[in-house]
Amino acid sequence: MKILQASRFTVGIPFRESIAHQLKARRQTASLVVKLFTAAGASGYGEGAPRAYVTGETLPGLVAAADRVLPALAGKTFGSVADISKYTHAVRLAHGPALACALEIALLDALGQERGCSLAEFLPAPTGQALTYSAVLPFLPAEKMPRWLELIRSLRLPALKVKVGREDDVERLRLVRDFLGPTIDIRLDANRAWSTAEALPRIEALLPFAPTWIEEPLRPEDLTDLPALANRCPLPVLLDESVTSLPEAMACAEQITPGQLCFNLKLSKLGGLLAASAIQQFAEKNGIPCQLGCHVGETAILTAAGRHFARAHRLDYLEGGYAPFFMADDLTAGPVSFAPGGKLQPLTGPGLGITPELQKLVRYDAAHSTLLTPENA
């Protein structure tokens, strides 16, 4: 597969309302989309979603890195998935995981199109698990909570993640349980809200609502206490911001008691499908549960990539596909979100199985799309 041209777009699609958690409130998407065109006529698309509070990456920094990296792709040949993995690993080390993720997905998409096969063919064999997605409940004004809870109930979703870390956590959890009943599976996400001294009392206060996991309980300045807290915590601790690479996952596994540790796998923060797959396979061998996570505002590209990933890996929970519920638009005409019950069917067709609409990429590109070749770089 030979790359002829590379271009990039930024994507800022408005939200219908602000989506907030402990570390950030967002009013629109913030992603970089890469489009690659091959000598065989394939167009591959990939997306990276930089998050400063997770990996230190920003969208302006990602655009600048893309403008340095993409021109050198013109004329480059990739003969295998191993070639793609080696290349994107080097990009990750030099420029961060979001750009590596966007390039990897675009390259795998294009390779699948050239070979006439799904991107899923480049991942482990399907597990046979049904793809069942869960909801995420952000911080909302009290008057908006019933509408969101009614939506979750109407979709018959089996599981829900609730953002916590504020003074009204107990009241919010009580409302959720009263509204949705005793059977829905509830996970908690503190987004690094608490000090070491606060964490256990705050978690214990929420135990009457029967949560399953607690995600990232400790604030950044207290992270050296994370292993000790996890080993004492009454709930397994799910790590998101704390695990952005396989070495970090392995280090956490050495320090935290089995049964107390889980990993949140987000494709963009890890550098793509292949890097996320390596962490999931390590975790499965060591009895560590994983979930597929997503950044707020991922578009159809990362959602589609996540669906392929979910089909190929054993995961306790799946997050993503939320665009129709809070975004004003997406990059494809047809939805890639989950159906009632949280169910999703595998994507079919070559590559990603979706094709973003160029007019939408141009419409939502605040930084203006750029064709990057050696002549105009």
Q: Please write the tens of the pLDDT for every residue from 356-373.
A: 999 999 999 876 556 555
Looking at the structure of the chain, the number of domains it has is: 2
Q: Looking at the domain assignment, is residue 157 inside a domain?
A: yes
- Distance between CA atoms of 221 and 25, rounded to whole angstroms? 21
Q: Write the Ramachandran bin of 320: left for phi over 0, alpha for psi from -120 to 50, otherwise beta.
A: left
pLDDT greater at residue 79 or residue 22? 79
Average pLDDT of span 141-170: 91
How high is the pLDDT of residue 377? 33
How high is the pLDDT of residue 18? 59
Q: Strands 131-132 and 43-48: what pairing? A: unpaired
Tell me what the pLDDT averaged over the chain comes to.
Answer: 91
| 148 & 63 share domain | no
Is the model's pLDDT at 160 over the cut of 90?
yes
| 37 & 53 share domain | yes
Average pLDDT of span 40-49: 97
| 99 & 150 share domain | no
| 240 & 283 share domain | yes
| Residue range(s) defining the domain that contains residue 68 | 3-116+357-368
| 157 & 303 share domain | yes
pLDDT greater at residue 190 or residue 323? 190
- Distance between CA atoms of 345 and 348, rounded to whole angstroms? 9
| 255 & 133 share domain | yes
Q: How far is CA 64 from CA 69, 88, 190, in A?
A: 9, 17, 32
Main-chain dihedrals φ then ψ at residue 29, nearest 5 degrees: -70, 160
How high is the pLDDT of residue 368? 57
| 67 & 205 share domain | no
| 67 & 99 share domain | yes
Q: Looking at the domain assignment, is residue 250 inside a domain?
A: yes
Q: Looking at the domain assignment, is residue 352 inside a domain?
A: no
How high is the pLDDT of residue 53? 86
Q: How many CB atoms lie within 10 A of CB 229?
A: 21
| 103 & 137 share domain | no
Apex 347 CA angle, 42 and 306, nearest 5: 90
H-helix segments, the chain:
52-55, 59-69, 81-95, 97-115, 145-155, 169-180, 196-206, 226-232, 246-255, 267-270, 273-285, 300-312, 323-326, 358-363
Q: What is the CATH number of the domain that holds 36?
A: 3.30.390.10
Q: What is the CATH number of the domain that holds 163?
A: 3.20.20.120
| 277 & 363 share domain | no
Q: Is 90 helix (H, G, I), strand (E, B) or coil?
A: helix
pLDDT greater at residue 376 or residue 356? 356
Average pLDDT of span 147-151: 90
Question: Is the whole-model pTM more than 0.75?
Answer: yes
The predicted-structure confidence for 169-223, as pLDDT tens digits, reads as follows 999 999 999 999 999 999 999 999 999 999 999 999 999 999 999 999 999 999 9
Q: Looking at the domain assignment, is residue 340 inside a domain?
A: yes
DSSP annotation of 52 reads: H
| 179 & 325 share domain | yes
Q: Looking at the domain assignment, is residue 351 inside a domain?
A: no
Q: Torsion angle, CA of 28/219/199/267, rounded to 10 degrees?
A: 50
Q: Looking at the domain assignment, is residue 248 inside a domain?
A: yes
| 73 & 170 share domain | no
- Distance between CA atoms of 269 and 263, rounded to whole angstroms? 12
| Contacts for 312 with CB less than 8 Å, ≥ 6 apart | 120, 123, 124, 125, 126, 127, 277
Is the model's pLDDT at 315 over the cut of 60?
yes
Q: Looking at the domain assignment, is residue 375 inside a domain?
A: no
How high is the pLDDT of residue 241? 94
Instruction: Give residue 267's identity as a one-letter amino acid code.
Output: L
Q: Looking at the domain assignment, is residue 275 inside a domain?
A: yes
